[in-house]
Structure 1
């Protein structure tokens, strides 16, 4: 290789901050906590073992001798760059690299935006003149422009003003460019998901916080709430949830740091069309979250639950003020595609860098850590090699899971929002308030593998992007409901409940096509059998052989009050539910990451509750679920006389036993209706108490306008009065 080409390659490597060492692994890897965290060891043991052994070594810059671009080495740059590549892409957080085109953080040096940012474009050249401007210029050559200007006609205004200053956009040049992966996600909607980190790796990342006060925002998705909950998050991070005991301490410092957590239900606009309607669902959402937390949920205070919609700006202003007042570090944690990046942009406190605000009540003391210090520009090495001044000031330590923060500005670039699961590759730290704190977007954890059973062209259909107004599906005996052709909901035949069979109502709050058909046809479509009906099935070929039973779910939630209408309203008929001859039961079937299906059925009371001496019905679930008594969704506070009624119910009989203990056994178990759900590998399915979203989202009835009143009678009356006047006038003349 000639000496000039060697110097050019060495100079380019230093300019673009590429390390001159080969990667220890065959495949280049970008910075991601999933690779660099040793989840099998605790933090203390890992720090002790780092100098001796590293199971997975991660480089801050990807570079191999074989992967170096031939064009980059052969063509020396004539213009010296004014800056280097950014340390990490602000869209996905991946560290910048110029070696692996298929990985996150890759920058193609031939892109015009990157050349413009690095200052490699020749700004002395004038931009090309459009053809339309050339035609106008030729036409103006044959016209006396000065004479027309004296008359007040300015033809030169037809041409756009071009100057060297306007040719280059300063604001676009100062904004760091996105990597090729983020560029393709925004403009071409194509890209590959990153490897999702584990929960332990996120814990190790949060433990490296340089702040004394930290607040974790656990983001949940309203589409499949509460399936996106991480029940082990507060225990792994050692965050004590607030107890219902009033004497319990509200905050607790551990190892000199304070860790708190809030639950954020994002995309709440999917639940109801109005903000007031979603507000009315807050008691239901808290009770559902309490049940999902398990044993801990019964003894904690859930005053830290917030319902937010970044799309419609519901409650984002209040959450933004809380982030500003808390200061310190705010961590966005959650599964993939729950709306963290979109929420990040909505609640980040912009434009407050120079705001003269009072000092926060909570100090934001930062801990000094090794490796985050800027390199000393006055060292002997920098004096010997002037190219080191072109390197970024912030350097990533070799074993740090937390990259340095971005430069603070009033309106910094925000992370990329994309429906692709796993868009964020590494933590993105954006400071605010002149050192007051920072907001950190963490990579999403693995949520569901359902997309791997779907055809690539239909994977975007799994995401609920807007509120859905479903169509009511009627499932008669012997019928089933298909979702996308690969998920089947089949009511079980329960003859004791009704001689003629039960009629189920289903409402699909999912972006998948809902189709009701005979059960035999639905099985053929779902299993991709030969000769199956022509029903759309978006699953991959071969998925039909993986269909399995996902569970049998009992409709044991009483929704009679919400479904009966004016019969139980106090301002209308005012009947009590116990006096009705029927009960309406319901349940919500959840599809992980997709949405939910609301199922309801009306059962006669005499068939639901068996008489004494009768055997219990066949409504037990196949999944071995423990049957529970009838539950109601009336979450209003109990009346004052509720305690007296309970005492009257437990009043002892003459034999000294209560009514339940007279026969030695409790009340017979009701015959609950049961539905079976079948899905790929028997996974991705859950359930919850019904939200009654159909009552809030049912389509509006098309009411015709009031018909116009007929004018036939008015015309007859007008003629009659006219004839009477004529007759009177004729009689007067005769006299």
Structure 2
């Protein structure tokens, strides 16, 4: 053998063929042959790291030879039907499209080959032979299965998900329309369905899909009437809805503070629903946080108890896939009966002979423990059942691949597992390309993650390197900025907020992940339009300056005097009614779609006769209620000239809205320390009793 190796090395040196041109599987010993050129002087001996690099090149060549299309053709059929990360159908044709799998990638190659854990090693054979010999000595002993159980290889993701997960690079997909979402839900195989309308807390309620009930033929919301119906069937199916406000940890630092905001969130959602949400109960609202695990366990139990089809509907980047990880009921399949775990006698071996001359030990035949043998047989039966279950799942997957209908909007459900691969979580808008179906409870129900609807595409006006910063990932603690007359606030250098009411000072709190800068209005306009050199970093594209337009004028019309005046109106302190004060504190929240909000607060003085008008209007309202009107009549909202106003400028005048103030700054502004409220420290009493006794004795 050594002579043939020497001949091969000599032939390689004479011909000058590089090492990488000869496949390794033909001659494994060729790995040790150094690569040299036929012409020129002989190179000095290479270092250790260079030789390891040459072996790496050889291994790549052997892999590429083994990964030829002819060899991988039967292996490509083992790919999953869908990418578990984005839900797109698997394909090997277009490498730029979602769902493309590169066969030469390590994780895919390992998955196609079945993993290294399924290979039998020489040590397994040695252990097996030794146990068989031991079993032959002792009759009636079963050694069971000695091989290592086969571990399932993790299902790989497509190239697009791989780049998003490890390199944070990728392109967004085309967002579906609400009509396609409707057609997908209509293909549900379940009679009872439940739509979880996921709303983002960062710009609540801008991510609300208007008219969702009418579009999806959902069961109408229960009204305040106690005789209202609880459900309604459409086309033989009953579909209900729940509003899930995600990422609630962005609103306040504590769970108790977020829970206290539920009346406020319900009232804001009622305003956003319009006339349809005027007389409904809205008891189907949940405010959860997947990061802090707030109320996710309760939502998971509801999904398990409800069963049927669960559909997660919402816009892009609202946290559907991240919430999917925490609310999907994992590990709740068929519970296999536990094997008998009663304590038993140790295994003994019945020997036919006993040593001669040994008088200290009495050798007597002992019967084999039948209970242990039964346990081993039960273990073998359990492993055989598990193997048959895995093979049955593979057969079902093969049947699904054969009967795949590409015209259907709802892909087939994959085989159910206790701990399936979860969807990919990324800040890229439109990560999920197709519905991802995961079953639980042996067909009891499914949870389907649907692609997100379009949210406005604000990132198209921002430079690519700054687009990930538009998403608020953690809670922002802003600084108080005082906007005086003639000043404006710039957000990211391309969104401008300018007060329009003269002689009014506005306080601003920017709950946004991008940088906020306070400057004069003239400088802010120059920076926003890219006509002035400024030290303020602008994250927008140069062509965005031509598309800047007014998004509208927003009035600070909500009265927050009681919340902002502190002990003056506090019931446990001075307890002065806000109507008796000579001023009012007005506020509003300016929403930026998909980014966050800016809280604006201003204090204005009341007119001389305004205090009396407030008392008169209150008395008139009481009289109307006493006359029989259960609710005040709908009136067109009139703009009060005393309301301060601000004008917002954004790309194309879009992505801006307003809501009633949340007063999130009050949750951040911490209370003064207890030590600062106290007076001088307590006098030391060390030796006080002794000094008192001495004073009495002297007296």
Q: TM-score, normalised by structure 2?
A: 0.71
- Cα deviation, residue 348, structure 1: 0.5
**Which of 507, 512, 519 in structure 1 is aligned with 2:509?**
507
**Which of 184, 189, 195 in structure 2 is aligned with 1:216?**
195
Structure 1 residues 294 and 79, CA, compared in 2 at 3 Å: closer, same or farther?
A: closer
* Unpaired runs of at least 5, structure 1: 1-69, 128-163, 358-386, 495-500, 613-628, 633-641, 652-665, 729-735
Tell me how far apart the structure 1 counterparts of residues 571 and 99 of structure 2 sit (CA, whole Å).
Answer: 62
**Which of 418, 423, 435 in structure 1 is aligned with 2:426?**
418
Structure 1 residues 477 and 192, CA, compared in 2 at 3 Å: closer, same or farther?
A: same
Aligned to 1:395: 403
**Which of 432, 444, 451 in structure 1 is aligned with 2:459?**
451
Query: What SS does the corresponding residue of 2:303 show, helix, strand or coil?
Result: helix
Structure 1 contact 480–490 (Cα < 8 Å) conserved = yes
Tell me how far apart the structure 1 counterparts of residues 223 and 571 of structure 2 sit (CA, whole Å).
Answer: 37
Query: What SS does the corresponding residue of 1:346 show, helix, strand or coil?
Result: helix
- Cα deviation, residue 317, structure 1: 1.1
Query: What SS does the corresponding residue of 2:526 show, helix, strand or coil?
Result: helix
- Cα deviation, residue 413, structure 1: 0.9
**Which of 668, 671, 679 in structure 2 is aligned with 1:697?**
668
Aligned to 2:330: 350
Measured against aligned partners, the alpha-carbon deviations of 1:404-454 in whole angstroms (never above 9, x if no partner) come to 112111111110111111000000000000110100000001112110000
Measured against aligned partners, the alpha-carbon deviations of 1:353-403 in whole angstroms (never above 9, x if no partner) come to 12599xxxxxxxxxxxxxxxxxxxxxxxxxxxxx99977646321321100
Structure 1 residues 650 and 528, CA, compared in 2 at 3 Å: closer, same or farther?
A: farther
Aligned to 1:241: 221
Tell me how far apart the structure 2 counterparts of residues 507 and 548 of structure 1 sit (CA, whole Å).
Answer: 23
1:349-498 aligned within 5 A? 349-355=329-335, 393=401, 395-494=403-502
- Cα deviation, residue 299, structure 1: 2.3
Tell me how far apart the structure 2 counterparts of residues 429 and 585 of structure 1 sit (CA, whole Å).
Answer: 48
Query: What SS does the corresponding residue of 2:539 show, helix, strand or coil?
Result: coil
Measured against aligned partners, the alpha-carbon deviations of 1:20-43 in whole angstroms (never above 9, x if no partner) come to xxxxxxxxxxxxxxxxxxxxxxxx
- Whichever of the two has the greater Rg, that structure is 2
- Cα deviation, residue 244, structure 1: 2.4
Structure 2 contact 67–103 (Cα < 8 Å) conserved = no
Tell me how far apart the structure 2 counterparts of residues 262 and 293 of structure 1 sit (CA, whole Å).
Answer: 14
Measured against aligned partners, the alpha-carbon deviations of 1:115-138 in whole angstroms (never above 9, x if no partner) come to 1111177889999xxxxxxxxxxx
- For the pair 1:592 / 2:593, whether they are aligned, the reply is yes
Measured against aligned partners, the alpha-carbon deviations of 1:488-518 in whole angstroms (never above 9, x if no partner) come to 1111133xxxxxx111000001101111111
Aligned to 2:583: 582
Tell me how far apart the structure 2 counterparts of residues 103 and 703 of structure 1 sit (CA, whole Å).
Answer: 60
Structure 2 contact 334–441 (Cα < 8 Å) conserved = yes
1:544-555 aligned within 5 A? 544-555=545-556
Structure 1 contact 610–670 (Cα < 8 Å) conserved = no
Structure 1 contact 85–118 (Cα < 8 Å) conserved = yes
Tell me how far apart the structure 2 counterparts of residues 236 and 486 of structure 1 sit (CA, whole Å).
Answer: 36
Structure 2 contact 400–412 (Cα < 8 Å) conserved = no
Identify the range of structure 1 (392-401 vs 333-342) with the bigger mean alpha-carbon deviation: 392-401
Structure 2 contact 397–415 (Cα < 8 Å) conserved = no
- Cα deviation, residue 714, structure 1: 10
- Cα deviation, residue 319, structure 1: 0.8
Structure 2 contact 483–518 (Cα < 8 Å) conserved = yes
Structure 1 contact 469–698 (Cα < 8 Å) conserved = no
- For the pair 1:297 / 2:277, whether they are aligned, the reply is yes
- For the pair 1:332 / 2:312, whether they are aligned, the reply is yes
Structure 1 residues 88 and 124, CA, compared in 2 at 3 Å: closer, same or farther?
A: closer
* Unpaired runs of at least 5, structure 2: 1-63, 122-145, 338-394, 628-636
Aligned to 2:250: 270
1:703-722 aligned within 5 A? none
Aligned to 2:84: 90
Structure 1 residues 672 and 707, CA, compared in 2 at 3 Å: closer, same or farther?
A: closer
Aligned to 1:520: 522
- Cα deviation, residue 262, structure 1: 0.7
Structure 1 residues 570 and 245, CA, compared in 2 at 3 Å: closer, same or farther?
A: same
- Cα deviation, residue 79, structure 1: 11
**Which of 186, 208, 215 in structure 2 is aligned with 1:207?**
186
Aligned to 1:106: 100
**Which of 110, 119, 130 in structure 1 is aligned with 2:113?**
119
Aligned residue-pair number: 542
- Cα deviation, residue 77, structure 1: 2.7
Tell me how far apart the structure 2 counterparts of residues 95 and 72 of structure 1 sit (CA, whole Å).
Answer: 26
Structure 1 residues 442 and 72, CA, compared in 2 at 3 Å: closer, same or farther?
A: farther
